[in-house]
Homo-oligomer: A and B are copies of this chain.
Amino acid sequence: MELQFLGTSSGTPSRARNVSGLALHAPGSKHWYLVDCGEGTQHRILRTNYSPMSLRAIFITHIHGDHCYGLPGLLASAGLLNRSEPLLIAGPPAVERFVRGVMESTELRLPYAVEFAHVAPGWAISSLPDFRVEVAELSHRVPSFAFTFVEKSIERRLDIGKLERDGIASGPGWGQLQRGEDIALPDCRVARSADYLLPGRRPRKLIVAGDNDTPSLLAAQAQDAHVLVHEATYTEDVLQKVGPGSQHSSARATAAFAEEAGIPNLVLTHFSPRYQPAGNGSPSMADIEAEARAAYQGSLFLASDLQRYTLDRHGVLAAVPLPNAS
């Protein structure tokens, strides 16, 4: 599984960071998925290997502009590329109102269908090719959600020793058993697939959260999750100054929750533009990192734009070296 950040800034873009966007891709899939789509997301996509043509679905965590103002332009560009496949947009109902309103007021006509799913507590979707997706409701100034992506296609492995012990000869029948089909044996016995499949590995599970001032709302989703992507808009001291009305999380609060929930990989994002690159002034990204490290013992990452991460089958998250700054 691959994650690539398209934007990691809160509220407004900076020269180094765009507003929110995250690309997801399952190994071998011809599709990819987008979580949030701030203004300029399509510009970032131009700097990746992804295309608006193969985008299968867009998930919008909440209706604030830094998470959705890139939608109309991305839809329009996919139309100019002559996309014909339907595109799913899942998010709070306001997202459909926003997109349909813009399409109408700006006379945007698309050569493909846009399908909307209204996200609410308990919503889930199992019909996408690569992931089962669930939501958890968060706490922010507007309805905000986390999307949990659970990998769908776990390799099935046959118990070869048992097959041999039971005298089932190798051949096309093994393939059928592996695909989940029962087979009739030459001696009229029936071999049931379920009896010869080894227990599957745990599916990879990734949580991508929208803006949220209460990370513990993710406690149920966090069980068995391999990765949490969550905002850390401020350090604790700045959050105290800004006040609770912003309804954002500090690096400390997010990290403390991930520690308590036992999530092995934590990726922080959605940083206030006031945080400078480390060594470039104060407050800095180093402050965010130090605060999070003090509260969290797992693998910690601070996302940056265009950074790619791979999550392997063992649940290990690793940053992919960037070829060049672009």
A interface vs B, CB < 8 Å?
Answer: 11-15, 18-19, 38-40, 42-43, 46-47, 63-66, 68-70, 72-73, 76-77, 80, 94, 97-98, 101-102, 105-108, 142
Contacts and interface: CB of A to CB of B under 8 A. Distances in A.
Given A13-B46, A15-B47, A42-B39, A72 B76 contact: no
Contacts of A72: 39, 65, 69
What are the 9 tightest A-B residue pairs by CB atom distance, in nearest-first order?
Answer: A39-B73, A98-B105, A101-B101, A12-B77, A97-B105, A40-B40, A69-B73, A65-B76, A63-B106
Contacts of A107: 63-64, 94, 142
Contacts of A11: 76-77, 80
Contact of A40 (B39, B63, B65, B105): B39
A173 B261 CA distance: 81
A39 B64 CA distance: 16
Nearest to A273: B80
Nearest to A99: B105
Nearest to A69: B73
Nearest to A16: B46
Q: Which of A47, A66, A70, A102 has the most CB of B within 10 A?
A: A102
| Copies of this chain, whole number | 2
A47 B68 CA distance: 23
A68 to B, nearest CB: 7
A38 B39 CA distance: 10
Contacts of A40: 39-40, 43, 73
A65 B103 CA distance: 9
A14 B40 CA distance: 12
A98 B94 CA distance: 15
A40 B70 CA distance: 9
Contacts of A102: 65, 69, 98, 101-102
Contacts of A65: 72-73, 76, 102, 106, 108
Contacts of A76: 11-12, 65-66, 69
Contacts of A97: 105
11 contacts: A12-B80, A39-B40, A39-B43, A39-B70, A39-B73, A63-B107, A65-B102, A66-B76, A94-B107, A101-B101, A101-B102
A27 B94 CA distance: 44
A107 B142 CA distance: 9
A222 to B, nearest CB: 29
Given A65-B72, A72-B69, A101-B101, A13 B43 contact: yes
A11 to B, nearest CB: 5
Q: Which of A13, A39, A107, A108 has the most CB of B within 10 A?
A: A39
Contacts of A73: 19, 38-40, 65-66, 69
Given A105-B101, A106-B94, A106-B98, A43 B18 contact: yes
Nearest to A77: B12
